[in-house]
């Protein structure tokens, strides 16, 4: 059965892949890290759009993926509308900051949003923000360098940047005027939740988008009768078929997949310009 294609600028989308594996335990996945052209979050929209188009072409036209998951907030904001126009018959699922769920959960009416600069400046995010209840205050924080630090596994820099950005957002807590809910608007940041929680306190609600994306992917595949339910092996111990591909160096993806998913799948380098 054809695979589900998943891509991100680097290793952050592994947080979405993990959720997809849990919700769709018998599927085959192809994960592409576009590390050779990263970071997306601090690049212009044209760059992100061009790269998203190249990877979508590779996954759909070369590898014949049955669905495409854009596991990157920045790429979703910049490119998903274009990709859906290019591939109208292909289920394409994007990810966006969980503002609506956060608004429903918050008691103080103050919600923090950590994201890349490109995501926060995108028209898609601005539209999403404008659609939220007027009585909710969203405190947005561009986290320059944080995705790259997570990509590199640089714990000292992750700690430093998370400290700087959470302090810049204002007080966290459950009292009036405090931020009681924090949205992680970049898939990379899911791998820094322990550090962030230590900084803002355990009582703060932390939201990221992997599970909703996985559930939406399953729902769309069920609509077209394309979910693989054949029990070819026992329910998941993360043993489903997986390909890990990158346009850059393989070591960061290999290390991250082992560290975060306990995956030992070898990483292959690809050239999306030639589809090889």
Alpha carbon distance 41, 45 (integer Å): 9
Residue by residue, DSSP assigns 201-246 as -TTSEEE-SHHHHHHHHHHHHHHTT------SSSS-SS-S-EEEEE
Catalytic residue, from 143, 162, 186, 240: name it: 186
72 belongs to the catalytic site: yes
- CA 264 to CA 255: how far, in whole Å? 9
* CA 36/CA 246 separation, integer angstroms: 8
Residue 260: CB atoms within 10 A of its CB come to: 15
- For the four alpha carbons of 21, 24, 30 and 35, in that order, the dihedral sign comes to negative
CB atoms within 10 A of CB 171: 11
Is 186 catalytic? The answer is yes
How far is residue 83's CA from residue 78's CA, in Å, rounded to a whole number?
A: 10
Residues 185, 102: Cα–Cα separation, whole Å: 12
Which letter, b or e, does each residue of 264-276 get, where b requires 16 or more Cβ atoms within 10 Å of its Cβ?
Answer: ebebeebebeeee
Tell which residue, 57, 4, 52, 42, has the closest CA to residue 186: 42
* Residues annotated catalytic, as ranges: 72, 186
């Amino acid at each position: 059965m054809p695979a589900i294609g998943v891509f991100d600028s680097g290793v952050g989308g592994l947080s979405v892949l993990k959720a997809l594996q849990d919700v769709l335990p018998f599927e085959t996945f192809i994960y592409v890290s576009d590390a050779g052209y990263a970071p997306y979050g601090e690049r212009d929209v044209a760059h992100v759009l061009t790269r998203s188009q190249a990877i979508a072409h590779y996954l759909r036209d070369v590898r014949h993926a049955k669905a495409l998951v854009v596991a990157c907030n920045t790429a979703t904001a910049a490119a998903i509308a274009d990709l859906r126009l290019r591939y109208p018959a292909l289920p394409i699922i994007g990810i966006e900051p969980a503002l609506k769920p956060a608004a429903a959960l918050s008691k103080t009416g103050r919600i923090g949003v950590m994201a890349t600069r490109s995501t926060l400046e995108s028209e898609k995010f601005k539209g999403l923000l404008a659609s939220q209840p007027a009585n909710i205050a969203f405190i947005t924080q561009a986290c320059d360098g944080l995705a790259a630090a997570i990509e590199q596994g640089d714990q000292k820099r992750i700690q430093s940047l998370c400290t700087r950005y959470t302090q810049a957002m204002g007080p966290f807590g459950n009292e009036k005027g405090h931020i009681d809910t924090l949205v992680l608007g970049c898939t990379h940041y899911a791998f820094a939740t322990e550090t962030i929680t230590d900084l803002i306190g355990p009582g703060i609600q932390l939201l990221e988008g992997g599970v909703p994306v996985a559930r939406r992917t399953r729902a769309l595949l069920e609509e077209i009768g394309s979910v693989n339910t054949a029990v070819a092996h026992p329910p998941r111990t993360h043993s489903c078929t997986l390909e890990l591909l990158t346009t850059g160096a393989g070591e960061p993806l290999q290390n991250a997949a082992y560290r975060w998913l306990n995956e030992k799948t070898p990483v292959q380098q690809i050239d999306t310009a030639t589809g090889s």
